Structure 1
């Protein structure tokens, strides 16, 4: 009997890896180890090229980007590609911007693979809001200013329940919470208008674009000037919007 082929003898596996906000130095050691062992890497659109370059030279790189308002790879196709590669004996890394479980559809992918009988390991990554505020010298929580933090998407699922921004604003005011809004740039005017029903107009706000990358930019403003500031500064996606008194701690850095 002939010996099994190398591919057939190898056991496939899948790891969801958080690539962090973009700076390769913000990768965890575990993330780097998983990436360097990969034979197939399915890469999100927001993962920096410097991080993709850390994959082994022989690894197959598959770009499966998803960006709001742009042509995107269907989620079902991404999940099928992952499953097919694992079944072929590949060491699959699903490389996702930030953290896989913070607006990264990581939960959906884990559910799909587990339902097919495939075990999945998840390696956490630094999410953009954490890195962005840290790079500006300010926290997301502070004993004197914010007792907690809420991460929320500004882009609702089509056909899903719309976010009650007014209720969220009142809750943030009453419980002293920092609001972190991902994917909120396109809807910033509406978000501003709704949040003003529960938060004062002078509530500090920071907008951070391209977090941790060499071309990172930011603006510090107030809630009543949020949309105007975004337009005036020419800020766009990908950005995070941070609303709350913790923003007062942002150092006076150039945009």
Structure 2
């Protein structure tokens, strides 16, 4: 794995030198974009708007348009904007992880201790495990400020979850949300029973990216010249009044049948 950030965690007056690594990888198939007329591969070029000529990566810079003029930024400018946060993720507060709503979660990253930081790393890991707390702080990652939540993972390693800022969460007041009307007691009771029947400890290994596997089967079939037929799925009828009690009863019965088998 390649580190995407090299710096330190600020824990009080203790600095823990760490490297950050992405904790996830995609399982999606790598599909190419082709020209429909002859299936030639489509290539994207970085073209100069004025000359029409392709620009090499090493000649590309970034700039901000201000008063019809571009202000060019370089690596020193990014670091000068917040030199400390470019190198240190200083923990500002400790919170219970369940207090952080999942809507704020972005990407997870692994934290690896660097030379002379092993003892402090292990200390923070054990202290967070014992208190069941998570550390929150901000830092600069890839030219933008980010909120980081540091927590133990499997009691073996510290994980940093990147969080969204509050202003990034959209207001949902313009959506057509049902009015706060209490459901019928009998329907609520059956819904609770259904939830209890399907309740179990979370096991992430139960879930696989089966769509990519099925898509690969189709690709292999088409490679052999076979015709692929898709199953017909009944469309969801919009606006149709449903019998909630009947659906809940059927769901409970189906759940019982699965548990019995």
- Using the size of structure 1 for normalisation, the TM-score is 0.23
Q: Taking CA–CA contacts closer than 8 Å with sequence separation of 6 or more, which of the two structures ends up with the larger relative contact order?
A: 1
- Using the size of structure 2 for normalisation, the TM-score is 0.23
